[in-house]
Amino acid sequence: MAWIPLTELEVQSRLTAAELTALKTAAIAGSQTASAILAAAINTVIGEVRGYVAKKNTLGEAGTIPDELEATALALIRRHLFTRLPNMKALFDDLRQQEAKDALQRLRDAAKGDFVIVPPVEAAPEAEQAGGNGTQLVNSRPRIATRKTMAGL
């Protein structure tokens, strides 16, 4: 499988007409552009997905996510949009809330290794690769009672 970027056009194609209209209306009311709000949501969710995935997996190129988690990321983008803008809270119904909960659980499963992520084709460590659990070497104390020191007793 591939690691993919999430684009604004792709996210817009997954929103319903009512959701897209509400996003544009809320953006105008907040004196922002819908593109700026959407870009911020995409960047936030990409970082969140990569943060979970980095625990047990090698990350792909910066700004990409595993395509196995595309639907998960889109659910989180909708949650981010619907809870950020006051006019859109009505769109965050029970179905969307459950979808967001399921998405977060899938990310937790990926972090634990229970949801398998196929590594990127070129699995070179990324500069932003998160470190896993570190190993600390502990030296033992010098032995006092050895054969040499106990000889003749």
Mind listing the pLDDT tens digit for each residue in 4-35? Answer: 999 988 888 888 888 888 777 777 766 778 88
Residue 101: phi and psi, rounded to 5, are: -65, -45
Torsion angle of alpha carbons 124, 125, 128, 134, nearest 10°? 170
Give how many domains the chain has, as a whole number: 1
Residue 146 lies in a domain: no
132 in any annotated domain: no
User: What's the confidence (pLDDT) of residue 141?
Assistant: 72
* 149 belongs to a structural domain: no
Q: Answer yes or no: is 144 within a domain.
A: no
**What residues make up the domain containing 15?**
3-127
Cβ neighbours for 58, distance < 8 A, ≥ 6 positions apart: 119, 120, 123, 125, 126, 129
pLDDT (tens digit per residue) in 83-103: 876 767 777 888 889 999 999
What DSSP letter does each residue of the chain carry, written as one string? --EEE--HHHHHHHS-HHHHHHHHHHHHHTTS-HHHHHHHHHHHHHHHHHHHHTTTS---STTEEEGGGHHHHHHHHHHHHHHHSGGGGGG--HHHHHHHHHHHHHHHHHHHTSS--PPPSS-PPPTTPPP-------PPPPPSS-HHHHTT-
In a domain, 141, yes or no: no
Question: Domain for residue 117, yes or no?
Answer: yes
Q: Is residue 118 part of a domain?
A: yes
The mean pLDDT value of the chain amounts to 83
**Among residues of the chain, what percentage have pLDDT more than 90?**
33
d(CA 131, CA 40): 25
Identity at 120, one-letter amino acid code: P
- The model's pTM is 0.72
Summarize the confidence of residues 46-65 as an average pLDDT. 92
Tell me if 142 is assigned to some domain.
Answer: no
Confidence check: pLDDT of 48 > 90: yes
